[in-house]
Amino acid sequence: MPTDTRLLLQTAAAPASWGTTYVVMTELLPTDRPLLAALGRALPAGVLLAVLFRGLPTGSWWWRAPLLGTLNVGGFFALLMVAADRLPGGVAATLGAVGPLLVALLAWPLLGTRPVRRVVAAGVAAVAGVALLVLTPAAALDPVGIAAGLGATVSTALGIVLTRRFGPPPAPLLVATGWQLMAASALLLPLALAVEGTPPTPDGSALIGFGWLALVGTALAYALWFRGLAALPTTRVAFLVLLSPVVAATLGWAALGQSLSPLQLAGMAVALGSIVAAQGAALPRLRRRRLSERAAPAPSPLAPRPGARPA
């Protein structure tokens, strides 16, 4: 299997694991505690990585890590949970499906990557496909929930683009992932205590749910996600988030006995097709970049180093 394909599949495991969140929250976690669920994902994962893989940010990463942690995890989780609490799940998922299109548009001014028509068309198709999959005619539109859902989408889209713009941090992947999760926890902890009060004592099922979300859905998932963002074209990675509502709908059918109509199956096919189309649209640019890197002449060992004084 080509290295890029293997890395893409490993990165796709992250949004696929996020698709399990709905089942875990409804079946295992305390009800009416969305911020507690967000904190229960970020804090244990951040503490675990901080203990196992120690290291502190250096230089500009003292402000970059908290900014990315807020956009990618903390602010995103908080806004998403507000949207999920005030909107039907289908509406929140449809708002999230705008993310890949927004990433393609933000990449133009921030990364200098002009969106191609095929990517834009795939982004529009993605929104339509997810809407068919999860949106019901009876869905109610709450203004605060809509604003929170759009805010969560903007937060994660901007986080994806800035993660690529900043480039790899001066630390191993798991250390840098721990920085972002601890920054997110610093935002979520006082927010959860102020809004929801002291959390209840978790029972056995809640511990299993929090353990799954923290270890698999956050620590492992975000490590794979950030590695993919650093190595793959931004639009290819951004479209992988559509796997989350697809996995959530599939688990709802398989584990909760929810039915899938022919229209929903068609929406799932459109969403998956947009992911495939976006991967193909980014490949020519990736090949050109690699060809240019291979064609670049190697520096001569006798050439002066940059900044060296002439003899």
pLDDT tens-digit map of 225-238: 999 998 888 888 99
Q: Tell me the pLDDT tens digit for each residue of 11-62.
A: 999 999 988 887 888 788 887 788 888 899 899 999 999 999 989 999 999 9
State the Cα–Cα distance between residues 33 and 18, nearest whole angstrom: 18
* Domain contains 216: yes
* Domain contains 274: no
* Domain contains 85: yes
The answer on pLDDT for 145 being more than 50 is yes
List C-alpha distances in Å: 134 to 58, 94, 115.
43, 7, 27
Cβ-in-10-Å burial (0-12, 13-18, 19+) of 35 comes to: buried
pLDDT for residue 14: 93
Q: If pLDDT is split at 50, 70 and 90, which confidence band does 199 have?
A: confident
* Residue linked to tokens 């299109």: 101
State the Cα–Cα distance between residues 62 and 84, nearest whole angstrom: 32
User: What tokens were used for 223?
Assistant: 């490590």
Which residues form the domain of 89? 3-13+21-118+136-197+207-232
* Domain contains 183: yes
User: What tokens were used for 203?
Assistant: 């029972």
* Domain contains 186: yes
* Domain contains 77: yes
R_g of the chain computed on alpha carbons: 21
- How remote is the C-alpha of 118 from its chain's centroid? 22
pLDDT for residue 30: 82
- How remote is the C-alpha of 144 from its chain's centroid? 22
* Domain contains 71: yes
* Residue linked to tokens 């009800």: 31
Number of structural domains (the chain) is 1
Residue environment code for 220-257, b if the CB has 16+ CB neighbours within 10 A, otherwise e:
bbbbbbbbbbbebbbbbbbbbbbbbbbbbbbbbeeeee
The answer on pLDDT for 218 being more than 90 is yes
Are the C-beta atoms of 265 and 116 separated by less than 8 Å? no
Q: Tell me the pLDDT tens digit for each residue of 81-119.
A: 777 777 766 676 777 888 999 999 999 999 988 888 888
* Domain contains 105: yes
pLDDT for residue 138: 61
The amino acid that residue 269 corresponds to is A
Give SS3 for 135: coil
Highest mean pLDDT among 78-87, 126-135, 300-309: 126-135
